[in-house]
Amino acid sequence: MTDTARKPEAAAPDSRFAAKVFPSPNHGERKHADGTPGRRPDMLILHYTGMPVAGEALQWLCNPVSQVSSHYFVFENGHTLQLVPEGRRAWHAGASHWAGETDINSCSIGIEIANPGHPGGLPDYPEEQIAATLNLCRDICERWSIPPERVLAHSDIAPGRKIDPGEKFPWRRFAEAGVGLWAEPAAIRGGRFFARGESGQPVEALQAMFAMLGYGVAVDGVFDAKLEAVVAAFQRHWRPDKVDGVADSSTITTLRDLVAATQGSRTA
Ligand SMILES: [Zn+2]
């Protein structure tokens, strides 16, 4: 058989930046919060595979035993495959939260970027892979009208549980190309900071800002391990020079600037 075009899995990808379809069985129907079908994706979630060998990660995402998948898979050399149709609910987010949404799989498109991840020393993302991922993201955001503040890391929607795609991911470059939200990180210097164990009104105000940006955080004035994980997730995305879970003045100023940018884009 040389005529692969007749096989159903050889259907055309949804994005012109995917070379072909390589189907995963791990998907279902997109649902609204009330359980009715037909939710449209309005969020984009980026992941790294976190496995030493890209091909093995791809096989895992296409194995019915794994119960995980993504819509797209980007190899180190930029070669891109579509695993799940965009109209379907791929299983990439797991237990997650953002801006009141808890069924992130139903409202998002997920991209797995091949990288061994933190367990493998978090190698730099190769230029070919970043360029391909950026083209794909821009295409998806345009076709689905995904707003900048809803282009997120897996670590943003599952802080404390996930740390991908990691602090080496070039979020600034993506935002400059129109994908995602960015504010120039404030300089890291001394001054008042908040860390685990503290409590009170300033901590509550900090939590309220994280919640405004979208993080699933309790606004109770207690700086516990969960808030520390949120601070670290925020830093991994928006203040990557220092990821320590301490809300220093640079972190708080950068957060404030991002919240302000978000409010601006929502009222524009
Ligand atoms: Zn992930």
Burial pattern 163-186, b for ≥16 Cβ within 10 A else e, equals: bbbbbebbbeebbeeebbbbbebb
CA-CA distance, 249 to 51, in Å (whole number)? Answer: 35
Active-site residue flag, 76: no
pTM of structure: 0.95
Residue of 86, 112, 149, 167 marked active site: 112
Neighbours of ion ligand 1 (CB under 5 A): 47, 154, 164
Q: What is the distance in A from the centroid of ligand 1 to the CA of 201?
A: 33
Q: Which residues contact 254 (CB under 8 A, 6 or more apart)?
A: 183, 184, 185, 186, 238, 239
Q: Please, are residues 157 and 46 in contact by the beta-carbon 8 Å criterion?
A: no
Q: Render each residue's pLDDT in the chain as its tens digit; 268 residues.
A: 444 445 554 689 999 999 999 999 999 999 999 999 999 999 999 999 999 999 999 999 999 999 999 999 999 999 999 999 999 999 999 999 999 999 999 999 999 999 999 999 999 999 999 999 999 999 999 999 999 999 999 999 999 999 999 999 999 999 999 999 999 999 999 888 999 999 999 999 999 999 999 999 999 999 999 999 999 999 999 999 999 999 999 999 999 999 999 987 555 4
